[in-house]
Amino acid sequence: MDALDAKYPFFGSAREAVAEAAVSLPELVAADAPAVERARERVERALLEGTVAAESGAFPGESASDTQAELLSYPIARILVSLLDSDPAIEKYAAAEAATAMERVRRDLETDDELRSVSSATVGLDDLLAEFDLADAVRPDATAPAGVRGGPGAGTAAGASGGTGGGRDPDHYRIDVGPYLRLTSPEWGDSWRLVNRALADGAVRVSREELLAALEAAVEARVAEGLPFELGADEEIAAALESRVADLRRLLSERTYAEPPDVVAPALFPPCMTNLIEKAERDAALSAAESFALMSFLVGIGMTPDEVVAFCADTSLDAEGIRYQTEFLTDDRGTQYPPPTCETLANYEICHNEDDHMQVAADPLSYYEKRVAAAGDVTDWRDGRETDGANEA
């Protein structure tokens, strides 16, 4: 096992490394090895924040034991997600693994060519294309201006990744139409529809960023493949992971709201949300669970990412982080999560059941819906319009 395996655990080489190590996952889980807790963190951060990176922000590969724990956390995380047995959770998890992987790929591609050539823990674009059997399907755009493609292998995808030559990566590539249709979706926007693309000789012209987006879709599909799976004879693993699975289920209660109150009235917010807003206004940092609870509530009452950014402008919350998390919560996958229940928020010491409000409603959105309905006409923070709360509830 090496750092590259831990960095990109969905690579075929990483799977081979795990197999060759002959590590017993049931024994690891039974012993509550570091990889188990890292797996739980991996899944929780995937579902809450759209990333599987360690919360410390550092890649845990400074030692052999760290590298092993990081790599083995991936198959254990897949077990946890399988035990959740939730399509929305699987989609969010796979998307988070892919997004994190592509962040790392981008950093690798920005690494100086000379440094990359001596590092075994970085990948080039040619490595990624080969991993997904796309080496022959993707090539630099032959119509790119002279001097754009770098390295002696400029005519190949491998040469385009930086290699040992000078110059920078090409700005545009050609991808065969079959892989293009397989990896992209018209739902990404009209610009992705084949009718709107430059198509010649059976290949579609894409920008470098568009190619990376297609590769992210390939990673996501590979991560999601086979999930959820049956544990079969490994029932002991399920029993050993039961408490962690229960925590994840409580954290992400999968309720639906057909018509959430599309009105922003801060004075009517549940006490827990008001407390979180006031905490952020004091320039105090919110935990991951606190941030998720607040963002999912604001999204749940109909606020757009831009509106949430404006609403939180005078708080400790970072605008870029807000936008990332709210877009994650309002994506087009149909897998949005409402705020956790009051009981779960109480377990995270976010809800303190002020005024015994759990007797009124079991979750923040339901509580807010009831308050809006009882208030009658309320002023919407977004534009000051008078809204009939009873009709909005």
How crowded is the C-beta side of 230, counted as CA atoms within 13 Å?
Answer: 2
Q: What is the pLDDT of residue 13?
A: 94
Residue 285 exposed, middle or buried by CB count within 10 Å (0-12, 13-18, 19+): exposed
Give the type of residue at 217: A
80 neighbors 243 (Cβ within 8 angstroms): no
Residue 200 host element (H or E) = strand 199-200
> pLDDT-based confidence at 116, cuts 50/70/90?
low
**pLDDT classification of 59: cutoffs 50, 70, 90:** low
Reported pTM: 0.70
CA distance between the termini of the chain: 55
Q: Is 373 strand, coil or helix?
A: helix
> Over 50: is that where the pLDDT of 152 sits?
no
Going by pLDDT thresholds of 50, 70 and 90, the confidence category of residue 265 is very high
Higher pLDDT, 391 or 174: 174
Task: Tell me the C-alpha distance between 324 and 215, whole Å.
Answer: 20
| DSSP label at residue 234 | -
Residue 15 CB-density burial (10 A; 0-12 exposed, 13-18 middle, 19+ buried): middle
Helix (H) or strand (E) holding 388: strand 386-388
Neighbours of 87 (CB within 10 A): 15
Query: Is-contact 264 381, C-beta < 8 A?
Result: yes
pLDDT tens per residue across span 191-238: 999 999 999 999 999 999 999 999 999 999 999 999 998 886 667 888
